[in-house]
Structure 1
Amino acid sequence: MTVNDAVEFDPFAAEMATDPHSFYHRMRRSCPVFLSSMSSDMWMVSDDASQVFVVTTYEDLAFVLEHPELFPSGNKTGPEDPPEVQAELARGLPKATTLYESDQPEHTRLRSLIQSAWTPGRIARWEPRIREAARELVEELAPRGSAELVEDYADRLMNTAILDFMGIPREDHERIKHWDKLWVKVFIPGHPLEDQRSAAAEIVTYQRYLEDLFEERRNNPRDDLASALVHARTEDGDALTMPELVWGLMELYGAGYGNTTEGLSNILNLLLEQRELWEDLLADPSAVEHAVEEGLRLDGPVQWLSREAAADVELSGTKIPKGSTVMVSYVAANRDPKDFPEPDEFRIQRRGVTTTGARHVAHGRGIHYCVGAGWSRTAIRIGLEALLQSIPDLRLQDGFQAEYHLPAPMIRCVQALPAVWSPRD
């Protein structure tokens, strides 16, 4: 393949929301690492990139993610915000590097501080509270006999669970959710200038809210994420700065709420669309954990993320020049038949594990493996268990077929799941 053999590829196209798998299967067979026709000046592409390459195999994706020195994560700011938007954002806290966009050695410092707050022990202590939130929501829905599971259940449960965990008072949950959704207008091109400007102004208000929260938790710590982050220290006493705390928590909430909501929604669709899978879990509730892993492999919401080639490199026979953007397709790698035989089938006992024993990459791999993966798995599992236990006859409306959309550029999620069951007293 030469650099002139560009493939028509638009990750934001409607057909990629409807069915990305057919395209990736086809490309994996014919050209597993291909030069894309997509613009080099779009969001998520390296600032100075002249070419964009897409990686579709598990092996190549693993290599890219395991070699951050060859494929760093920074330098992806995309088109510069208009001056009016920059002026609004300048009223807030200075932009801090977040985990997602950090490279070594800064990444090690950030990761150690954030991971020390987001520990398995803290997640385990919060399990009963997540379970209680799920129970309350199911008890509210059960008498109705019907609901739209994305909006009425997955979205509400995951928003409540993550904001409780962060330390946000319940009366402020909807404000935080509103502010978070404004990120799309500010940081992703294509929105009217006035919408971007007004959204930027509200994001500054969001930042000030979180700044006040961290100061309060500095003086009055509790068992929540905000307290743990503001008191986190490295071995030599280093701490997160206020901009790092605020920008970091905004990032953690966006991923912890959005991706977990979308993950639960997609898995519910898989289980109810092939309802024998739901019946299997009713017969063996201990398999729910395995179903979560296989569901994330088969239909994880994060479709792709990008890196930059720090040197000339070759992958699967394709030469990638230094400075190019390298998009790694998680959805393609998770259905690579070399590593997942019969990859389009939902096999609960596979547990999302490859033939070599490696895990699916729905939460990433390497140094940028999702810091909240344990939280996400726990929350999704509890969300499924609550429905299985309290509404076992849950089913999709007759004749319903799910439609997918792209709520964010790299995210794919089922739009709605209208479901019915026998009303409970």
Structure 2
Amino acid sequence: MLDGMTATTHRRLRTEIPGPNSLALHQRRTDAVAAGLTSTLPVYITSAEGGLLTDADGNTLIDLGSGIAVTNVGHAAPAVVDGVREQAGLFTHTCFMVTPYEGYVRVCEELAALTPGDHAKRSVLFNSGAEAVENAVKIARTATGRQAVVVFDHAYHGRTNLTMALTAKSLPYKHGFGPFAPEVYRVAGSYPFRDAEGRTGEQAAAEAIDRVEKQIGADAVAAVVVEPIQGEGGFIEPAPGFLPALSRWCAANGVVFVADEVQTGFCRTGEWFACDHEGVVPDLIATAKGIAGGLPLAAVTGKAELLDSVHAGGLGGTYGGNPVSCAAALGAIETMREGDLAGAAKRIGETAIASLRELAATTGAIGDVRGRGAMIAIEFVKPGTTEPDAAITSRIAAACHAAGVVVLTCGTYGNVVRLLPPLTLPPELLREGLDVLEDAIREETSR
């Protein structure tokens, strides 16, 4: 933190956003960092605690983004910090593939206990969500001897070559980066706001399954990869029954059901995992983001026979399951369990969704307010239609940023504001952040 600046427990603006120190740092950035890497809000952070970010100009912002669903336990969570400090003082790396260590094993034991299902499980640890999803596909292909992978419209699964193929949206994720990995097939999913009125989850699943059976053949499919709530695609919550129907079809046809819970996992939706809401037990579950309180860690967890089907040496990576990241994960899991952060997420969702739906009733620009727990979306449309309105979405986000509240946007059409607050965010900060957002919505929709 810069001289003369002290920690605060509330939003505080000392300068415009971004301020002069952030602007100076941003100029240095343009001379050193690749232009293809962009930032939502170019304020340069010097410290963070709980749900607050302090920048280089001494401004303190309310964080309703959690670094894209990563700091579920809040910034600088004590159990995470203590675990990292202790482990870093012992050793920072040996490579689990060379000389292993207990922390990796403990994380895998926790994943076996926490993820859906009571069957025998195994895990393997990686660095990022994309790595986890890619390795889940590798495992499914090895176990089944098949190649085809089924994914869905509006999906996002990562930025590696294979996960770009799994991802639906071209700009900015795929444009110009092909050719992509083959044997990836895309079908329509369930998007209640944009589906035909009355279309059920079971009907959406039946239509997707019919397309797969006719155009690919069930006996050619290695895996169905699905986000239980689609993230970058717009926080799309499928209609009830959609996921269970897909899971049943997979089980009946020897297809591996892969749940990509990178963004939804670790109490974010009000349960430990989004699959828990409908009692869906995936064959494999890919996790990352919220697992380690801000340090890079990811995992594939699933049925023992699937993980153990891969030949010796077929899974791994130099940094996968780094000991410091494992210590952070153990601290984060302890915080989630002892603080009942799944319950906290439910309370955040109840407050935010009720308030935003009340506002939506007064403006035609909000087409839908949706979400589970602390994973909340506001979809903006041109009044009287379902036509996406990306322009007003951008203006509302910019107004929140200028007022010191970090919100994110997403959606295939760029017309969704998404909220991902830390699950430890105090009610008064949540209310203050929502007030700023709602004022921005009123201002922009009244023009």
Q: By the TM > 0.5 criterion, same fold?
A: no
Larger helix proportion of the pair:
1
Query: With structure 2 as the length reference, what TM-score do the two structures score?
Result: 0.30
Higher relative contact order (CA closer than 8 Å, sequence separation 6+): 1
